[in-house]
Structure 1
Amino acid sequence: MPFSVKEQFKEAPETWDINICETCYKTPKNFFWAFFCPPCAQFYQRKRILGGDLERYTCCGGEICAPCISWTDGLVKKAPECCLCTEILCCFYCSVGASRIMLQRKFHIRNTKFEDFLLILAFILSYVVMILSIFFPIPREVDCLIDCFYCCLFSCFQSQQEHELDVREDRQKSFKHKEANSGIEQV
């Protein structure tokens, strides 16, 4: 999955407004909200990405799992809020990744090589741990360390995405304001 996404946005003209490593100190409010209440932050963020219209909601933004989308289609039309909550609680990492892809597609944003590296590392690490846990018990300390890595990483992703939404909305408001004022001056 991360490989196809990387190729898809490789030529995108835009970059994220802040670097992934800067989110914790440049947008501390977003970072701590995503760190201490990630499901709430993700629900709010996806709703913002959809323009507040959850009628447009599809499971994982239609980006991750096609069978899941076809299976949940009838449910989504009846209760999109409930389906989004279920997606976030059951498939949190996929949900954050789908929101990221949706933003990248909407604003033509590409990841840095380091962001791609982090995504691939998280993907590989999850499978390595899963496979090793079949054969060996994973020590509690290692499991806790991996959980901390994921919490920090996905808080950075969520806060970077939230900041990008703020920046893009501010640009849009500024553009509309300038457009309105230029119309007044021409009269």
Structure 2
Amino acid sequence: MSMASQDHLDKMKMRQNYRNLWHTNLVNSIGADPAYCCLAVWCAPCVSYLLRKRALYNDMSRYVCCAGYMPCSGRCGESRCPEFCLCTEVFLCFGNSVASTRFLLQDEFNIQTTQCDNCIIGFMFCLQQIACIFSLVAMIVGSDEISEASQLLSCLADFVYCTVCACMQTQHKVEMDKRDGKFGPQPVMAVPPVQQMSRFDQPVPPTIGYPPQPPPPAYGQPYGYPQQGYPPAGYPPAGSAYPPPGSAYPTPGYPK
């Protein structure tokens, strides 16, 4: 295995340790923005173009083909004509364009993918593979029954693919709405530099747009209680004598 492939695997494993979550998961993304989900179904490449540009803070000088996650990234002349290269990417490599925008947001905001989302995405890929296998078997065997089954599986796989991609793009849009403060006060943040927007340039991405976690209290300090000394400062008072004058010590009745 080459060093580049091993680096890719290490970065994929690192994503499993991210601690933030998507604002909405794939199941609830349709309800989060139904109109945008419908737009993502019927105009999927256009939506992918707009989402990638928005993920780059509308600064196309940051654009790299497939967000730097593919072997072709940086080798397609993106710096000379980024808009044309992005159009080519979303139309010719639509699936990669959606996945790259997803990885870009995950690595920028330290977002993990839930097991439910992983199951949905995995089911989509498995269904596509099964449909492809049935098509090859039908072509080799020449059976009408297998051919009809392969066509049904292909239609089902295409339907699931289009639906899941639309939900993913809606999920990305809602997450950037959160980033831009459309759900409440916008957090104080700055546009990250280019190297912070790629998972290959940093071991742990920053948590931009998410409130920092408060540090744990010092050992021995209970939550919510001010620090106190024992005995309190200034005790006993200056000039005072102990025991007070006039008092008997030991007290009467104390056994001698």
What percentage of residue pairs aligned between the two structures are identical? 29
User: Take 1:104 and 1:19, find their aligned partners in 2: how far apart are those partners?
Assistant: 13
Query: How far is the alpha carbon of 1:172 from its aligned partner?
Result: 8.8
Partner residue of 2:57 out of 48, 51, 55: 51
In 2, Cα distance between equivalents of 1:15 and 1:111: 7
Any stretches of 5+ residues in structure 1 without a counterpart? 177-187
Partner of 2:107: 105
CA distance in 2, matches of 1:91, 1:134: 23
CA offsets per residue over residues 74-116 of structure 1, 9 Å max, x none? x211111111111111111111011000000011100110111
Structure 2 residue 138 is matched with structure 1 residue 126 = no
- SS of 2:16 mapped into structure 1: coil
Q: Tell me the TM-score normalised to structure 1 length.
A: 0.82
Task: Tell whether the 8 Å contact from 1:16 to 1:160 is kept in structure 2 after alignment.
Answer: yes
Q: Would you say the 8 A contact 2:16–2:112 is kept in 1?
A: yes
Aligned residues: 172
How much does 1:147 deviate? Answer: 1.0
Match in the other structure for 2:92: 90
> After superposition, where does 1:1-16 map in structure 2 within 5 Å?
7-16=13-22
> Which protein is richer in helix relative to its size?
1
CA RMSD of aligned residues (A): 2.4
1:174 is displaced (CA, Å) by: 2.5
Superposed counterparts of 1:1-187, under 5 Å: 7-63=13-69, 65-66=70-71, 68-72=72-76, 75-137=77-139, 139=148, 140-170=151-181, 174-176=186-188
Q: Is the 8 A contact 2:132 2:154 kept in 1?
A: no
Q: Any runs of at least 4 consecutive aligned residues in structure 1 with deviations exceeding 4 A, and if so which?
A: 3-6
Change (3 A) 1:70 1:77: closer
Relative distance call for 1:79 and 1:17 in structure 2 (3 A) is same
Contact 2:64 2:74 in 1 (8 A): no
2:131·2:157 contact (CA, 8 Å) conserved in 1?
no
Unaligned runs of 5+ in 2: 140-146, 189-256
Q: TM-score, normalised by structure 2?
A: 0.61
Which has the greater radius of gyration?
Answer: 2
Counterpart in 2 of 1:179? none
* Alpha-carbon distance change, 56 to 70 in structure 1, aligned in 2, over 3 angstroms: closer
Rounded Cα–Cα distance in structure 2 between residues aligned with 1:172 and 1:61: 29
Question: 2:68 touches 2:74 (CA, 8 Å); kept in 1?
Answer: no
Counterpart for residue 204 of structure 2: none
CA drift at 1:4: 6.7
SS at match of 1:78: coil
